[in-house]
Structure formats: structure tokens, C-alpha cells
Chains A and B, each alone.
Chain A
Amino acid sequence: MTSTVTERAGSAATPGSGSRRLTERVFRIRESGIIAVFLVFVGVTTAIHPEFLNQQNLQFLLVNTVVYALLALGETMVVISRNVDLSIGSVLGLSAYVSAGLFKPHPGIPIPVVFLVGLGIGLACGMANGLMVALGRVPSLVVTLATLYIIRGIDILIVGGNEVTAQTLPNSFANIPRANVLGVPYLAIAVAVVIGAGAYYLRSFRSGRELYAIGSNPEAARLAGIPTGRRIFTAFTVSGAIAGVAGVLWAAQYQTVDSTAGTGYELTVISAVVVGGVAIFGGSGSAVGAAVGALLLSSITSALNVLGISQLWLEAISGFLLLLAITLDRIISLRLQAALRRRSAGVGT
């Protein structure tokens, strides 16, 4: 796991640094592994049932994925730094209700303002998480488990017994997930761009690389002069902000928002992230992998539909897939370690 920091840095391929080339090769396999699984899955499903790839189904699939894929981007940043954010489901729920609830008392409110409100709620929650984890140096699992409860509790108090209903939402808002160009939803394009930007940031920006360093070895990262507290704070803030925006999108998609919106999303998103090749203890993985993980999980739903298999199998299959993904990852990293040891033994003597 520790060798992953060199994953991209070594792309200049200095000849002679054999271990770097090896790392790169394995990581290319690892990155492409999830994509290969996804392609095989789509291929097999399409071969059995060509409707799987029809436009309506694809559109449905993409819209269904965007919320998870967005959340997966934020969670990836947090997990790479050897932390975890369990509060995203609650943040999504709070943001969905408060932002979409604005339409009833203020019917003419501009949609960007609604998004800004969602973003603001998410930012506030994410910064609270980040401050506690970075300043207090307490385990993020406990902090975000606590904020999962607290934010959901605040949501429940605000919602009371009410709910946002579809009638109160303007068409322009409800149509956000449906607007498309040549059959591709604008929303999917926008989310793909955001994920691309996030992936680029993690891959190529110094502060992005530092998240990997922190996740590989927090103590070494600190000694190397990386402002670990700031970086972790940033990761949680981004994760919260994304969850806030995802809440607004969730409201636009489902149009009925009560106090249970987003319950349990945290574990699904972590599953997607881990299936996508992000190591749960940090230091390796990519945002693109996590997004493909989210895409794979939601295409299973859609494939079960098309193949006429009962949706009842969905949960078991996604759980099995997660176990398979982490087991394969473990085997690959063991092989890598063994190969590195052989190589260094050969070079050393």
C-alpha cells in the first residue's frame, strides 16, 4: 500500500527504477480491473437482453448513478486520507429537505439559490466534521458516527411530520434529472465533469497527492512537512459540500422528501468506493475507480430488472461483490509485495 504514492509520480519512467515500473503495471491492472468487470457485466447482460442498452434504460441508469457517483467522489477523498465519513447520508437528507422545502414558502425562488443553500448546509456539516477530526485528532469513524445521529436528529426536528411533495416543486426543478442532449442527461455530463476534475485534482495537484501520502503513513506525512490537519479538513469539507449538493439533486429526482431521505447511503457509498478499488485504510485508489464502482452497483440494479431476476437478489449480490473486490485487491497487493521483495533481493546482493 505504501508504494502507491509513486503511482503517477513515476510516470516519467526513469529507467532503472524497476520497482516503480512494477508498481505502475500492477496499478494499471488494478485500475482497469474494475472497468473490465463493468464492461464484461454490461456485455453479458446485453448479449442476453439487448434492451439493456436501449436509450431509456441507459438514461435511467445514468440518472440513478449520479447521486451515488458524486457522493463517492467526496468519500474517496476522505478514505484516501485514511479516514471515513459516515455522515453523508444524514447531510444529504438534511440538505434535500431544507433546500427543496424552500419552494413552498418562496415559489419563485431561483434554482441556483436552492443549490447554494444545499451547498451551504453541506459545507457547514463537512467543516464541522473536518474541524473535529483534524483539530481533535479523534477517530473519524466515531466523529462522523456521532454527526450521522446529530444531523439526522436535526433533520427530524426540522421536518416534524411534514414532507416536501412533488406538487410544491416547479417543473424546471423536477426536470433537472430529465433534461438531456442526444439522450445523455445534462446532469450525467455535469457530474462526469465534476468527477473528472476531482480525479485530476487527486492525481496531479500537490495537495491532492498529499492526501495519498497522509493515508499511506500519517506520521511520515506529518514529519515530511505536510499540513495533515488542513488536508484532512479539506477532504471532509469537500465530502460534506458534495453531500449537500447531492441532497438537492436527490430532491429533484425523487421529489418527495421526508425525514428518512438518504438513510443508509453512507454504507452503500463506501461499498461503491471500495468496490472501485480505493483501499479502506487509505493511500491508494482513484476517483474514477470509485465512480465506476458506483456505476457498477447501480447497473446491477438495472440489469436485474432487464433480466427479469427479482430485485431481491440485489443486496446479496452487491455485498458479495464488495467481498470479492477486497479479496482480489488483497491477493494482488500480496503478489506485489512478494514481487518487490524478490526484486530487491535480486538487486541487493
Chain B
Amino acid sequence: MERDLTARLSAAARASLRWEAGLGLLVIAIIIFGAVTSPQFLTSVNFFNTGVSSGEIAIMALPMTLIIISGEIDLSVASILGMSSALLGYLWARHWPMLAIFVMVALLGIVAGLINGLLVTRVGLPSLAVTIGTLALYRGVALILLGPNTISNFPAGYTNIGINPLPGTQIPYNVAIFVVLAVIFGIVLHFTATGRSIYAMGASPEAALFAGIRVKRVKTMLYVISGLVCALAGVLWTFRLATAVQNNGLGLELDVVAIVLLGGVSIFGGKGTLAGVVLAVIAFAALQNALLLTNFNQEATGIVIGALLLVSVFAPNAAALLHGLPRWARGRPRRAAPSP
């Protein structure tokens, strides 16, 4: 029994390693494709542009990874980004000092995450439904705050982060923040007891509870951190585009979820690594950029993203798929199914 378990665990570890190796190869393939098809692909300007335009999505993918591994989901991330951006614009237009605005935006993110977390853990509601609700609610708050207005008179010292890299490098500010956060999240997830407990509650919430893990507290904390990080992403987004408008980041939640799943994280929780998600972020950004440079209709990159997503979910299930086919075909209904 015990050997069976260790065998299964190491099989899972091997499978995830294979997945990350596959993602690594995918990234290399995309880079070769980009370099061959466009001379601009491997330039530092292009590197900057690619990074700066995906930084916030990448940042939001980090807490999402932990939340999905813990067995939940947060679809409200892009709305928290939009709501933070709207509050930033709203307060700036009312001549608040920037420091006070940052504090308020951070608090807003924390409160938004806390509402998600409490509804999921204390009221016991499914996170999918809760965060679809707060997705609308938080976007609604952004609408109420800004209405149809656009606030864009931010000081150049802040909005330069969309144009200038970190001094002395080619790295955009939001990518630098992503790298720092990725290291922190990686350490917490893979090298601390809290990180292990996140895997445990994702694999089996009851077993985790009986093992003495404070499942509710940790999950609430994850939502609060997600809210705070998304608020940060909202500030970065606003300054990068030098615009606070109510629909900032609209619809990004699905991109974030797609990246995390592409990174090999199981939607059922309990499986996945941060390294996989970082590779998926790189693949996502590089792919979008390579297709842009080759004059492929960039919006249609969705086809490639979607196809990769299907591969990510079917690859580990290939054996089950082959198994399931005959059984499904054999299934005999007792009565012909009436088509409604």
C-alpha cells in the first residue's frame, strides 16, 4: 500500500516534470519560430514590448496558481484590477496625494479578496459561483466610480514605467516585479509548510482538515493575497497605459486561468508547479508576440492558446481516453434518448 503510494507519487512527479520539459521545448520552438520568421523578434526593443504588455497578466497568474492548487478558483482577478485602477483614477482626480491613494488601493484589494475568501470558506459557497458574482460586483464598482470618464493626467514620473525599462537594463518594471513575486511565491509554495498544506488541501480537503491544517484560514489568506496582488497589477496597468478607465483589464481572468492550466496545474487542485506556470507565461507572451510580428491576425492567437490548453488537459488523460472509448460506445440506454 505504502509502496503503491510512493510509486504513484513519483509517477506524478515524473509526469509533471515531463510536462515542464514539454513546455520548455515549446518555449524554445516558439523562440526559433519567431526568430526565423521575423528579424525583429530577437531585438531588445521587442523583448521590452513583449514583457511590458504581459506583465500584469503574469503577476495575476501567481496567486491564481496557489488558489487553483488549493482546489478553488478566482475569476474576479481582472475585475479587482479594474476596480483598483478606477479607484486610483477616482482619487487622483480628487487631488489625493499619491501615497494615500496607494494605501487605499491596497486596502481595496485586501477587502475584495477577503469578501471572496469569507464567502468561500465561512459561508461555504462554491468559489466558481462566488467569484463570477464578485467579477460582476467589482467591475460594477469600477463603473460606479468612474462612469464613462477617463482619467489620464497622471504625473510622468509614474506613467514612464510603460515606456522606460529599469535603469541600466532592458527589463520593464512590471516584469521585474513579476520576477520578484514569482521567486517569493515559488519559495512559499515549494519550500514551506504552508505551501505543502496548499497541495494537501487541494488533493483532499477533508484529509487536510483532519491532519490539522487550517484549511479555511489558509484559503482565506490566499484570496486576500490574490486581491492585494491584483490591486498592484491594477496600479501597474493604469500607469503603464497612463489611463484609468472602468473597463481596464476586462476579460483577462480567462487568460490568467488559461495560463495557469497550461502551466500544468490541475483544475481539480493538488497538482502543479510554479515553474510550469512561469514557463507558460513565457510561452503565452512569446507566442502572442511572434504571431503579431508575422502579421498573423493577433486576436486569433486564441486558436493556438485554446489548442495548447486542450493538449494540456488531454495529455495526462490519454490513457483514460483510450480506455473510455469502448465503454462509452458500449453504453446502452434503456430507452432511446428523446431529443428535446
Contacts and interface: CB of A to CB of B under 8 A. Distances in A.
Contact of A318 (B119, B136, B257, B333): B136
A229 to B, nearest CB: 4
A148 B333 CA distance: 31
Contacts, number: 185
Interface stretch (B26-34, B126-134, B207-215): B126-134
B306 A316 contact: no
B254 A319 contact: no
A138 B317 contact: yes
A140 B312 CA distance: 13
Q: Report the contact-size class of chain A (Cβ under 8 Å from the partner).
A: 35 or more
A146 B310 contact: yes
B267 A153 contact: no
A312 B144 contact: yes
Given A139-B313, A280-B128, A327-B123, A312 B147 contact: yes
A134 interface: yes
A142 B132 contact: no
Nearest to A325: B133
**Interface SS of B by simple majority:** helix
Most A Cβ at <10 Å: residue of B128, B261, B302, B313: B302
Interface residues of B, number: 61
Contacts of B134: 319, 323
Contact of A149 (B128, B141, B303, B320): B303
B288 to A, nearest CB: 12
Interface of B: 75, 119, 123-126, 128-130, 132-141, 143-144, 147, 250-251, 254, 257-258, 261, 267-268, 297, 299-307, 309-310, 312-314, 317, 320-321, 324-325, 327-328, 331-335, 337-340
Interface of A: 84, 86, 132, 134-139, 141-143, 145-150, 152-154, 156-157, 160, 197-198, 201, 205-208, 225, 227-231, 234, 238, 259, 263-264, 267, 270-271, 274, 280-281, 310, 312-320, 322-323, 326-327, 330
Given A142-B267, A267-B75, A326-B133, 19 more contacts: A135-B328, A137-B317, A137-B321, A145-B254, A146-B309, A146-B313, A147-B306, A150-B310, A156-B300, A156-B302, A207-B338, A208-B340, A229-B327, A264-B250, A267-B136, A315-B137, A323-B119, A326-B129, A330-B123
